[in-house]
Amino acid sequence: MKIVYVITQATWGGAQAHLYSLIQQQVRLGNTVTLVCGKTGWLSTRIGADFPSVDVVPISSLVRQIAPMRDLSAIHALRTLLRSKRPDVVHLHSSKAGMIGRLATARLGFNVIFTVHGWGFTPGVGKKRQLLMKSIEKLLRHLTTYYICVSQFDYELGVQNGVITKRRPGCVIHNGVTALDTPVKPERRERFVLSMAARFDAPKRQDILIRALSELPEEVPIICNLLGDGPLLQECKNLAVRLNVSSKVQFRGVVDNVQQYYRQSDVAVLISDYEALPISLVEALAQRLPIIASHVGGIDELIHENGFLVDNDPKQIAEKIILLYQSNQMAQLKRNSYRIYEHQYTEQAMLEQTQACYLQCLA
């Protein structure tokens, strides 16, 4: 089987980690794989180093923002590549790559799968953007063989808005990860450790979490690891200084393995304006962590008696942190998290379901 994967940014994030797992599996199966990306970074570097047989093709005109001239150039470059590669499956990731990829495949007759890591019209984005992206998705629907949604929330949103239909079907394949070995962190520590793994960029809201830390009583011994980088990193560092919580916040930068930090943490946190189903929280489940997360997108599919869903309100988030710090039920919360992981979010299940989707399209 020949597969071409397309993603807008080959940097660091949940969609990129997801795609790395898919490529690793296809190389293991002996299939021919090409990765097309706009901005290069963590993913393209790792793929180039780990899998020399994979052809990594940067297209500089494939950018996140709408840019008509660059978009036309990206469509032309990708169309030329696809005509040369003649893949069995073109698998698109991220909204912009989904747009460019489907336009590039028009009338070429390829099987086109679009994995939805969050619709462009999801609740939480601006109303004008919702209307625009909904219209674009309906126009591109006929160029899509199959949709994969990473959460039940996104699947239902696609159906409700007339994007996923009987003629253009889809399914839910949850993000999955492989858990590291059983956690070795001690049960009692001097500090109560929170960790949030996310890029410092929209829609993530590390700033709200930092404000929540300022609401905590001084006697609560908190350390908060913020993993990742991005354009809003310095702004968040400045905020921590202004609120006098610098001693409570550790800016860790990009890390190779989020689960290594989770192994030394007590709680995983993710505050965001909108989401699909974040891999960082699946990794938290795999490390038996209770979760505090924004009540958006498909996140509620990850929380079942193993943490709290919150509004993006610093005081409410602070209250939930204190509740977990004082809780005598932490052992049960951890067991609940791991039970959810084992039931629905293993990497093996994700890979098997995705492979079945490829074979279904080819059939």
Q: What confidence tier does 180 reach under pLDDT thresholds 50, 70, 90?
A: confident
Is 56 in the same domain as 171?
A: yes
User: What's the pTM value of the predicted model, to 2 decimals?
Assistant: 0.92
Range 267-282 average pLDDT: 96
In this predicted model, what pLDDT tens digit does every residue of 48-79 receive, in sequence order?
Answer: 999 999 999 999 999 988 899 999 999 999 99
* Residue 182 pLDDT: 57
Task: Please report which residue ranges of 147-278 form alpha helices under DSSP H.
Answer: 152-160, 206-214, 233-242, 258-262
pLDDT at 308 over 60: yes
The whole-angstrom separation of Cα 313 and Cα 290 is: 19
Is 160 in the same domain as 31?
A: yes
* Residue 13 pLDDT: 80
The number of CA neighbours under 13 Å toward the Cβ of 267 is 28
Percent of the chain with pLDDT over 90: 91
Is 171 in the same domain as 210?
A: no
Is 172 in the same domain as 206?
A: no
pLDDT at 124 over 60: yes
Q: Are 116 and 275 in contact (CB under 8 A)?
A: no
Q: What confidence tier does 11 reach under pLDDT thresholds 50, 70, 90?
A: confident
Is 161 in the same domain as 208?
A: no
pLDDT at 186 over 60: no
The whole-angstrom separation of Cα 357 and Cα 147 is: 10
Percent of the chain with pLDDT over 70: 98
Q: Are 337 and 312 in contact (CB under 8 A)?
A: no
Structurally, the chain folds into a number of domains equal to: 2
pLDDT at 46 over 70: yes
Is 103 in the same domain as 91?
A: yes
Q: Does 186 fall in a domain?
A: no
The whole-angstrom separation of Cα 23 and Cα 248 is: 38
Q: What confidence tier does 14 reach under pLDDT thresholds 50, 70, 90?
A: confident
The whole-angstrom separation of Cα 352 and Cα 339 is: 20
Is 97 in the same domain as 158?
A: yes
Which CATH number do you get for residue 91? 3.40.50.2000
Q: What confidence tier does 189 reach under pLDDT thresholds 50, 70, 90?
A: low
* Residue 92 pLDDT: 98
Is 67 in the same domain as 124?
A: yes
Residue from 188, 183, 251 nearest 223 by CA: 251
* Residue 187 pLDDT: 52
Range 190-209 average pLDDT: 95
Is 66 in the same domain as 146?
A: yes
pLDDT at 122 over 80: yes
Q: Does 51 fall in a domain?
A: yes
State the CB neighbour count (10 A cutoff) for residue 232. Answer: 17
pLDDT at 250 over 70: yes
Is 200 in the same domain as 132?
A: no
The whole-angstrom separation of Cα 124 and Cα 62 is: 25
Q: Does 182 fall in a domain?
A: no
Q: What confidence tier does 289 reach under pLDDT thresholds 50, 70, 90?
A: very high
pLDDT at 324 over 70: yes
pLDDT at 183 over 80: no
Q: Does 311 fall in a domain?
A: yes
Q: Does 54 fall in a domain?
A: yes
Q: What confidence tier does 363 reach under pLDDT thresholds 50, 70, 90?
A: confident
Is 355 in the same domain as 332?
A: no
Q: What confidence tier does 208 reach under pLDDT thresholds 50, 70, 90?
A: very high
Range 4-25 average pLDDT: 92
Range 106-128 average pLDDT: 94
Q: Does 181 fall in a domain?
A: no
* Residue 181 pLDDT: 78
Which residue range forms the structural domain that includes residue 160?
Answer: 2-176+346-362
Is 272 in the same domain as 159?
A: no
Q: Does 183 fall in a domain?
A: no
